[in-house]
């Protein structure tokens, strides 16, 4: 019997056996074409757990036959990074291609740890492949980010997961010895949550629970086994994604009691307090917005405060802000406005800015009409003048629609009084 877990035994070794992420590694997809060309640049894989970030890095190294060094940011420091870079230098001579340095959970590296990578990446001593479950824009320092291409990996869909389950049952060296039937898939898919590793862990737990018998994978068996083995099932701590999701949804749903409960779950589990504060900062802009602009200020102060104070005192700050956000009025109007505007920009391209709004630093520009007929709002009553600000082609397009909170009712009255029905403001 193999000592390796099923997830490790099923790890693919080439693009053709890799399930999911076809937008990156399918035929003629961008990442596959780059690798098959033999060219490789530093990159970051951003996506949820269990979607194949580490596997993809290994496949790339094998495909290009390059030396492969691996670090986990959870238990590595600057000293470890420098040691790997020295080893990479010893293998990088004459025309040999640069070794690959894979860093798992790179978002957990501090600024100084990330700084220690910069020189080696800049000089081509190593090609960096970083894996992160967090938005690299927030977690990776700008100089390093600018030297990496970001590839987004998606959760596996139901078809991907079922393909993987059937492949495991039919091809794995241990499972194919057994008589396994998948009778129901609802619980299997639901508890997997788009995560290949979770799916394979569940299958392994169920099969180990029925030794020397015909094995049925159905909803009841999956639920029963997971209730008995939740620690094993979630041994990598991935449940925290479910907890943070519940925390954010509780705040969005204006339930301070649930919000504080899930906050306590995260703190008791050792969650990074900066991660919690950053999520509340995003929520303050996305879900509260103009309905209570002070929410964003308080969330920003919270993020700065927990960085200074640390635990255990930061639990009080986090609780105060979680309760404040949960009890604030909610509006996603600003969030919807920018997404609608970006969609229109994508469709319409670079529409010409009206001449009267253009800057006119030279005489020639003034002669051809730049800035002509622009009216300075502060020279008019109520600091307002009825002027066209959008390109002619999209004149009158409304992106911002005030919602029904008290604050936005005031904003709607303000806009309606000035624009007299334009943009639909009445």
Q: Which of 128, 120, 123 shows the shortest CA–CA distance to 149?
A: 128
Mean pLDDT confidence for 367-388? 78
Residue 230 reports pLDDT greater than 60:
no
Q: At what angle do helices 314-326 and 273-283 cross, to 10 degrees?
A: 20
Within 10 Å of residue 223's Cβ, how many Cβ atoms? 13
Domains of the chain and any CATH numbers: 21-152 (3.40.50.300), 158-233 (1.10.8.60), 240-326 (1.20.272.10), 344-424 (1.10.3710)
User: What percent of the chain is predicted at pLDDT more than 70?
Assistant: 92
Q: SS3 letters for 266-284?
A: HHHCCCCHHHHHHHHHHHH
Q: Over 70: is that where the pLDDT of 360 sits?
A: no
Asked if the model's pLDDT at residue 235 lies above 50, the reply is no
Question: Residues 384-410, buried b or exposed e (16+ Cβ, 10 A)?
Answer: eeeeeeeeeeeeeeebbebbebebbee
112-127: b (≥16 Cβ within 10 Å) or e = ebbebbeebbeeebbb
By residue count, the chain amounts to 426
What distance lies between CA 404 and its chain's CA centroid? 31
pLDDT (average), residues 295-301: 96
Whether the per-residue pLDDT at 197 is higher than 50: the answer is: yes
Q: What letter would DSSP give residue 254? A: T
Residue bearing the bigger pLDDT, 111 or 158: 158
Measured CA to CA in angstroms, residue 359 lies from 40, 62, 345, 370, 374 at distances of 42, 54, 21, 6, 10
Nearest to 192 by CA among 204, 183, 202: 202
At 335, list the tokens: 């969030």
Contact between 80 and 46 under an 8 Å Cβ cutoff? The reply is no
317: pLDDT strictly greater than 90: yes
> What is the Cα Rg of the chain in Å?
27
Is the separation of the CB atoms in 6 and 201 below 8 Å?
Answer: yes
Question: What's the rounded Cα separation, in Å, for the pair 319 and 297?
Answer: 16
Say if residue 407's pLDDT is above 60: yes
pLDDT tens readout for residues 382-393: 888 888 888 888
Instruction: Quote the CA–CA distance of 183 and 130 in Å, as a whole number.
Output: 39
The answer, yes or no, to whether residue 367 has pLDDT greater than 60, is yes
Quick one: 178 exposed, middle or buried, by C-beta within 10 A (0-12, 13-18, 19+)?
Answer: middle
Task: Report the mean per-residue pLDDT for the chain.
Answer: 86
Task: Tell me the two tokens of residue 200.
Answer: 């394979």
What is residue 229's predicted lDDT score, i.e. its pLDDT? 65
Q: CA-to-CA distance for 29 and 146, rounded, in angstroms?
A: 22
CA–CA dist 85, 56 (Å, integer): 21
Residue-level pLDDT at 366 = 63
Residue 236: pLDDT over 90? no
> Using CA atoms, how far apart are residues 377 and 360, in angstroms rounded to an integer?
18
Tracing tokens 């877990």 back to the chain, one arrives at 5
pLDDT above 90 (res 5): no
Return the pLDDT at 363: 65
The answer to whether the CB of 422 falls within 8 A of the CB of 395 is no
pLDDT at 231 exceeding the cut of 80: no
DSSP assignment letter at 392: G
Give 40-55 pLDDT, tens digit per residue.
999 999 998 889 999 9
| CB neighbourhood size of 154 (10 A) | 15
Q: Secondary structure of 115-154 in the HEC alphabet? A: HHHHHHHHHCCCEEEEEECCCHHHHCCHHHHCCCEEEECC
Q: Dump pLDDT digits (tens) for 90-146.
A: 876 656 788 999 999 898 888 888 888 898 899 888 999 999 988 888 788 889 999
**320/383 Cα distance (integer angstroms):** 39
Is it the case that residue 252 has pLDDT exceeding 90?
Answer: yes
Spell out where 163-265 has E strands.
180-182, 215-217
Higher pLDDT: 299 or 73? It is 299
Flag whether pLDDT at 354 surpasses 90.
no
**Average pLDDT score over residue span 223-236:** 65
């Amino acid at each position: 019997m193999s000592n390796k877990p099923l997830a490790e035994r099923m790890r693919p070794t080439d693009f053709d056996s890799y399930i999911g992420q076809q937008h990156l590694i399918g035929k003629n997809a961008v990442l596959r074409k780059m690798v098959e060309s033999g060219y490789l640049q530093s990159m970051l894989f951003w996506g949820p757990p269990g979607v194949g970030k580490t596997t993809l890095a290994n496949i790339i190294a094998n495909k290009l036959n390059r030396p492969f060094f691996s670090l986990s940011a959870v238990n590595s420091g600057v000293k470890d990074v420098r040691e790997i870079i020295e080893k990479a230098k010893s293998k990088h001579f004459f025309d040999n291609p640069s070794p690959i340095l894979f860093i798992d959970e790179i978002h957990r590296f501090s600024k100084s740890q990330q700084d220690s990578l910069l020189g080696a990446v800049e000089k081509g001593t190593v090609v960096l492949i970083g894996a992160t479950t967090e938005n690299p824009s927030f977690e990776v320092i700008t100089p390093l980010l600018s030297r990496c291409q970001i590839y987004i990996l998606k959760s596996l869909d139901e078809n991907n997961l079922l393909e993987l389950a059937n492949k495991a049952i039919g091809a794995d060296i241990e499972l194919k010895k057994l008589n396994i039937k998948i009778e129901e898939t609802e619980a299997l898919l639901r508890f997997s949550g788009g995560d290949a590793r979770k799916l394979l862990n569940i299958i392994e737990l169920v099969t180990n629970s029925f030794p020397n018998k015909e094995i049925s994978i159905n909803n009841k068996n999956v639920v029963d086994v997971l209730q008995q083995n939740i620690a094993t099932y979630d041994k990598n701590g991935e449940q925290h994604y479910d907890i943070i999701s519940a925390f954010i949804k509780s705040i969005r749903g204006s339930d301070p009691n649930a919000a504080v409960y899930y906050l306590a779950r995260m703190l008791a589990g050792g969650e990074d307090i900066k991660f919690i504060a950053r999520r509340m900062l995003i929520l303050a802009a996305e879900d509260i917005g103009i309905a209570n602009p002070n929410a964003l200020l308080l969330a920003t102060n919270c993020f700065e405060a927990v960085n200074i104070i640390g635990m255990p005192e930061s639990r009080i700050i986090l609780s105060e802000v979680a309760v404040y956000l949960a009890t604030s009025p909610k509006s996603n109007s600003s969030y919807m406005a920018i997404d609608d505007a970006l969609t229109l920009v994508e469709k319409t391209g670079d529409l010409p800015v009206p001449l009267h709004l253009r800057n006119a630093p030279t005489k020639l520009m003034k002669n051809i009409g730049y800035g002509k007929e622009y009216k300075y709002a502060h020279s008019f009553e109520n600091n307002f003048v009825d002027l066209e600000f959008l390109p002619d082609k999209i004149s009158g397009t409304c992106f911002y629609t005030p919602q029904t909170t008290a604050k936005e009712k005031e904003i709607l009255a303000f806009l309606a009084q000035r624009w007299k029905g334009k943009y639909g403001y009445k």
